[in-house]
Amino acid sequence: MPEGPEIRRAADRLAAAVAGAPLVHVWFAFPALKYFEAALPGQCIASIEPRGKALLTRFDHGWTLYSHNQLYGVWKVVAAGERPDTRRSLRVALETADRAILLYSASDVSMWRSDAIESHPFLRSLGPDVLDPTLDAATVAARLGSQPFQGRALGGLLLDQGFLAGMGNYLRSEVLFAAGLHPSRRPRDLDAAALMRLADALLAIPRLSYATRGIEPARGMRDDYLTDSPEGFRFRVFDRQDQPCPTCGGAITRIEAGARRLYLCPRCQH
């Protein structure tokens, strides 16, 4: 499943294609949404905002489309009137005079009054978004030390969208490596310096991935996060089992944590 940086880049791409232009054609596969096929043409998409791993498509007449891709959903940007040759099932089509955005294969789609969207059960369950520019490390550190989260192992906690929205599996491995922490550690066992180091990494690494396109490395690529290429982001431990740690040279190890693969350096993370 895409993680916060990828979802935010997708939202940017969708908004760049259709935001601000009047809709001329709207189609929904879901019977409960058929009413909006007639109500939305002539309206404009005001914004497309990621919230954790969901997207909120806000229309300028006070309604918002909630969608969650889950495992198989995907948005495509195409020319107006175009429908790609695919075996996927089209769920939503939002089309301006020039461009269209199409949602395939997703099933979690609904329309909400914009002033009521925050009552959506998924949104109510989310923690702060790691890519929210107003979120700072002090707030994250306080959240780590709070009663609901301080006793949980970091390997599981960092995948909990109720802790921080937008985190995911590759980010979890990279954050823990950057902070020098083993996934079995718990926030309540960390000293103030380690807690702040983790809080800093929880913000810095997702933001770097978003800002520098989050491109996965080819074998043999440089190991630092930020290279001199436009892409920038490189994995230091994720998907690098048995390769040398960029810090100490020891072998990167793969383990299972929270039923997901996690990569770490046993020497550097303790």
Catalytic positions, written as ranges: 2-3, 53, 260
What residue has token string 């310096």? Answer: 193
Q: Which of 190, 215, 218 is nearest to 202 (CA)?
A: 190
In whole angstroms, give the CA distance from residue 247 to residue 187: 24
- How many CA atoms does the CB half-sphere of 47 hold within 13 Å? 7
Task: State the alpha helices, DSSP H only, in 137-216.
Answer: 137-144, 154-157, 169-179, 192-211
What residue has token string 């009047």? Answer: 22
In whole angstroms, give the CA distance from residue 150 to residue 148: 6
Q: At what angle do helices 4-18 and 192-211 cross, to 10 degrees?
A: 30
What residue has token string 């099932």? Answer: 89
